[in-house]
Structure 1
């Protein structure tokens, strides 16, 4: 029995096929091969085409089939992971009305801040666990204000995973997790937030029926099954935002456990049993995949809180990609990593601030741009710049993790997939030494987690423990106990503060 996982990322679609019994990764594929574009019609805007996501998903699945490493008809369930906070709008015929406004789009910052003040800071933080900020609700309000004719044709408001599920099954539904990441969910009333809907003037009918994260969200349509070589009627049995899903794949399910990713954006994600929030909303709290999970599925009762406290840095892999294009796009990322390793720690004074991908929540929704500081034309080479970029990203993680420590998250071990920037020894060493935490690395990416989630939702695994208990790290990196990166971090932090004070 096989499971198919789909990860709808910003840069590409990744799919994995996993043996349900052994949890062995049988095959994986990515499409397109090069990073997908982000459409930026104005500074600070970021959009992608949902219809292009769907085309890429089909190509990725067919590419995975082409490996010949499994029988596609043996796939019994499908799971979906997706880039969080995106806004997808469809009409009554399930046609997409406009490009998706994705997670790193900054156009609605002022809209969200006005809502924060009008609804009330205390109410937003205690009920929504966040300010409305630049999340999906504020993006929808922007469309309502600036594109009223289009807004009038909306039948359903969806997150990206809801859209993918719709294309596979023809059915439209959502989850509490998705609504919480969109800042539509009231954690105290366990319902759509009346205050958010009333303030923005959103009708409840725009929001689909709510399903559990681990449950059938629909069944594969015959026409789609024929196109993809799959069996008709198999369930889409799981959908989750990419960070909660990454945590699931790393067996990060209980209070105190922490996961990290370093893809297009960078994330530290810690699990809590509290409805906690940061008073400045620099880090954000959403429903985790096992929030209010029934006891028989691995929870501790119907009302068990399991929240994910998320630190997001927008400019991580995208900064690494940018420097690759500047240094020479013919270079592989492995070649970039090797070049960085040939430069001393601290890049001989060169400092990189990785904040050039929209408003940064941990900087109080400021947009300060990316910066290379202290550049010496006679001393610094492309390799220095690559190292400075990777160290600057690691320092940004430390800055954010210190905020999480202020809010009660004190990890001693962080789990991550051995992928993306964690393939760089320079970045991994800088991360571990700067943060003084041990890192456990695991095989597989978000699409692996989505496949395991599908097995849970389809009832192939009886509970979360049986689904995640087989995971073992493929490597562990521990800090040396020396603080040789600390002065470099303090120098970087002072440069950041100078920019924030301008």
Structure 2
């Protein structure tokens, strides 16, 4: 018997099958094989058709069933991960009233900033743990202001994963974790943030019913069976935004556990029981997947680093090298600190953790007589690693403790220099796992039974690749980081 996991991204939909008993993955497929369309009729806008997500979900489920010779009756539940912060608005018949305004659309920035100032920074930090910023609530306010004819027809608004669950079941609901990522949850009152809805002039009846993250949220109905190929009655057992789900996929559920991603951008997602919103202008705070009303809270503090893997990929494309492996070998020939060369790796737009400053990528202390491309490779890996450490120190100042970091087996964390540098500076081990968001969502479908030990064991048994331990001789790393931080502060304090 199997669970199916869906990861609703903005570039593609990924579908995974895992064994119910062992948690072992049969495989993962992607729909479409090329990137999904994105609509941008104005600069800074980004929209997608929710109907397209559903079409690719259905195609993918049929493909993976056929590939692994699995019948609809063998699939015992569904878990859904989805792109965060998107807005889907439906009419009473359940039809989308417009394209979804997705996570990277920036049209509502000024609306969120105005709310932050007028409601008050302290109240937003204490009650929402965030600025309303460019999140789902602010996007809904944009629709109200700019598309009043559409807004009048809105029956419910929802997040992308809520829409997919609705298409399976014809039932509209959401989760606390989902509402919090839209900045719609009041952590003081442990309820929907009515004061923000009132400020935006949004009727609370537009909020879908709330279900537990790990529960029998709804079941596939006859129409869902016809379109998706899953049997009617198959339960939807789980849904969460992609970053909380990625943390869950790495078995990051408790205070002191940190999930890290070293892809095009870097993400540090730390779980805490602190309701501190002190760094709400640089750090996002969400109800984690295992947050429950009235209990010791589980908050996911999310810090994003734009200048991460994209910096290393730029080097691959522009240096006379053939692969990341070659770059890592070149870097390993150079000692810690790169002989004084520093790379400030922030060339992918404004960095929120640097208070939205756009400082670009900079290479400093380069000596044209002594330094080579090997120094550049080492300095770049160190610079990106130092940016992760810098971000973790921001998180520590906002109430997190670090006991262990768990990371996916992606490009940056394949580099021993990168992983060892972080592990040594934060003085904690880094566990590497070979998993994906779709696999994690499929496994999470089993958590409606409440057996978190079985879930954790399935990750350790199936996915653990290796563990990087901190080096005992950490002094060269401390000095190199201090040099890098000094160069960064010379730039940011101008």
TM-score interval, smaller chain: 0.7 to 0.9
How far, CA to CA, are the matches of 1:59 and 1:327 in structure 2? Answer: 40
How far, CA to CA, are the matches of 1:117 and 1:378 in structure 2? Answer: 49
Deviations 1:221-246 (A, max 9, x none): 33443444432220111101122222
Change (3 A) 1:251 1:209: same
SS at 2:217 equivalent: coil
Q: Judge which range, 32-41 or 6-15, deviates more.
A: 32-41
Question: Aligned residue for 2:397?
Answer: 406
Question: Aligned residue for 1:168?
Answer: 168
SS at 2:150 equivalent: helix
Conservation of the 8 A alpha-carbon contact between 1:418 and 1:444:
yes
The Cα RMSD (Å) is 3.2
Conservation of the 8 A alpha-carbon contact between 1:172 and 1:208:
yes
Question: Aligned residue for 1:478?
Answer: 469
Conservation of the 8 A alpha-carbon contact between 1:177 and 1:286:
yes
Q: Judge which range, 310-319 or 157-166, deviates more.
A: 310-319
Change (3 A) 1:161 1:377: farther
Matches within 5 A, 1:32-431: 32-33=32-33, 41-68=41-68, 70-292=70-292, 302-317=294-309, 335-343=323-331, 344=334, 349=341, 351-354=343-346, 356-357=348-349, 359-364=350-355, 366-368=356-358, 370-374=360-364, 390-431=381-422
How far, CA to CA, are the matches of 1:311 and 1:58 in structure 2? Answer: 33
Q: Please report the TM-score for the alignment, with normalisation by the length of structure 1.
A: 0.85
For residue 81 of structure 1, report the CA deviation from its aligned partner: 1.0
SS at 1:393 equivalent: helix
Change (3 A) 1:104 1:369: farther
Conservation of the 8 A alpha-carbon contact between 1:10 and 1:264:
no
SS at 2:163 equivalent: helix
Conservation of the 8 A alpha-carbon contact between 1:350 and 1:384:
no
Conservation of the 8 A alpha-carbon contact between 1:50 and 1:100:
yes
Q: Is 1:453 paired with 2:441?
A: no
1:463 to 451, 467, 470: 451
Change (3 A) 1:90 1:374: farther
Deviations 1:83-104 (A, max 9, x none): 2222223333433344433334
Q: Judge which range, 140-149 or 189-198, deviates more.
A: 140-149
For residue 253 of structure 1, report the CA deviation from its aligned partner: 2.0
Change (3 A) 1:310 1:191: same
SS at 1:432 equivalent: helix
How far, CA to CA, are the matches of 1:321 and 1:61 in structure 2? Answer: 33
Conservation of the 8 A alpha-carbon contact between 2:156 and 2:207:
yes
Question: Aligned residue for 2:434?
Answer: 443
Could you list the runs of 5+ residues in structure 1 that have no partner in the other structure? 294-301
Conservation of the 8 A alpha-carbon contact between 1:263 and 1:420:
yes
Deviations 1:237-283 (A, max 9, x none): 11011222223223222222222223344222222223222245322
Change (3 A) 1:236 1:466: same
How far, CA to CA, are the matches of 1:238 and 1:28 in structure 2? Answer: 18
Aligned length: 485
Q: Judge which range, 139-148 or 240-249, deviates more.
A: 139-148
Change (3 A) 1:273 1:326: same
How far, CA to CA, are the matches of 1:60 and 1:485 in structure 2? Answer: 46
Conservation of the 8 A alpha-carbon contact between 1:266 and 1:317:
yes
For residue 194 of structure 1, report the CA deviation from its aligned partner: 2.0
Deviations 1:158-201 (A, max 9, x none): 11211221222222211111111111111121222122111111
SS at 2:218 equivalent: coil
Change (3 A) 1:384 1:225: farther
For residue 367 of structure 1, report the CA deviation from its aligned partner: 4.8
Mark the structure with the bigger radius of gyration: 2
SS at 2:286 equivalent: strand
How far, CA to CA, are the matches of 2:301 and 2:412 in structure 1? Answer: 22
Could you list the runs of 5+ residues in structure 2 that have no partner in the other structure? none
Conservation of the 8 A alpha-carbon contact between 1:278 and 1:284:
no
